Amino acid sequence: MALGAAGIAAEPEALVAQVYLPQREGSLQVEMLAAGRRNGAFSMTIPPRLGALLAEVAAGNPVLVLQNLSLPWVPLWHYALVVGYDLDKAEILLRSGVTPRLVMPLSTFEHTWQRSKAWGMVALPPGRLPRTAEEAPTVAAAIAFEQSNAPAAARRIYAAALERWPDNLALLLGLGYNAYAAGDVAAAADAFGRAVEVHPQSVPALNDFAFALSALGRHSEARAAAQKALALGGPWQDAVRDTLQRIDAAARAR
């Protein structure tokens, strides 16, 4: 249902095989996050606070929460989707199991949610970020998404994240990498160029910029960037030397 809200079609029966662990009669949180990614959604956890949960729901992002409906010493774990709330009535609206509309007093919900250390996640269409997303977790979630999804989709996530954190090096490199992998070399060079502009001492940024320039046929600029990366030293030297060789080979093949 979380995937459905993200506009992604997925059969519940197919999802069961992806997340259900028979021995434990349930699913682990990491599996839930991975299942979201595997079905093309950008999934990440939200900060463990009621304020963050309500902010996401208000922004139209349903939140999948883990609750312990029982007491800590006889746990009864349960996933539910928070789809609405009414602060005046102090109620929260859940899709819970096969119940499409379960109204729960907010205080009861908080008790059951706190027992899971207030774990909650959203699964969004690529290009849409959680309202409450923080920088480092967003970068980590984007990198995790990239591992199992098409470059075109990963590119949309990096682009959206860069609107909030325009100077983040990993996001800039991620955007360029996926633009390149999607066949858009000019956009890749733009992203790497911006990375070099903001992080002039970053060897990875210079290396990637050099490689993209070379792919565009701008060999002398490419070589200048790679030479600068080489002069900076550090742990990426083998990669830079390799890039320099490729640039030379490409220039000769012209």
Decide: is 142 part of the binding site for other proteins (CB under 8 A): yes
CB of 238 to other proteins, least distance (A): 11
Among 141, 176, 193, 196, interactor with other proteins by CB under 8 A: 176
Contact string 200-229 vs other proteins (x = CB under 8 A): ---xx--xx--x---x--------------
CB-based contact 230:237 (threshold 8 Å): yes
Print the binding letters for residues 155-174 with other proteins: x by CB under 8 A, - otherwise: ---x----------xxx-xx
Continuous H helices in 115-168: 135-147, 151-164
Give yes or no for residue 230 binding other proteins (CB under 8 A). no
Nearer to other proteins, 97 or 183 (CB): 183
- Count of residues touching other proteins (by CB under 8 A): 28
**Binders of other proteins in range 22-41 (CB under 8 A):** none
Q: Which two tokens stand for residue 172?
A: 């800039």
Report the DSSP pairing between strands 120-124 and 63-68. antiparallel
139 interacts with other proteins by CB under 8 A:
yes
CA distance 244 to 59: 47
Q: Residues 102-131 vs other proteins: string with x where CB under 8 A? A: ------------------------------
CB of 90 to other proteins, least distance (A): 36
Q: Is 251 in the site for other proteins (CB under 8 A)?
A: no
Q: How far is CA 127 from CA 27, 155, 160, 233, 239, in A?
A: 27, 8, 5, 36, 31
Distance between start and end Cα atoms, the chain? 53
The answer to the question of residue 177 lying near other proteins (CB under 8 A) is yes
Q: Which member of 11, 74, 235, 252 binds other proteins (CB under 8 A)? A: 235
What's the rounded Cα separation, in Å, for the pair 106 and 112?
10
Rank residues 113 and 177 by Cβ distance to other proteins and give the closer one.
Answer: 177
Cα–Cα distance list, 17 to 31, 97, 195 (Å): 11, 17, 41
DSSP state of 125: -
CA distance 237 to 253: 24
Q: How many CB atoms lie within 10 A of CB 232?
A: 16
Provide the binding-site residues for other proteins, judged by CB under 8 A. Answer: 139-140, 142-143, 146-147, 158, 169-171, 173-174, 176-177, 180-181, 203-204, 207-208, 211, 215, 235-236, 239, 242-243, 246
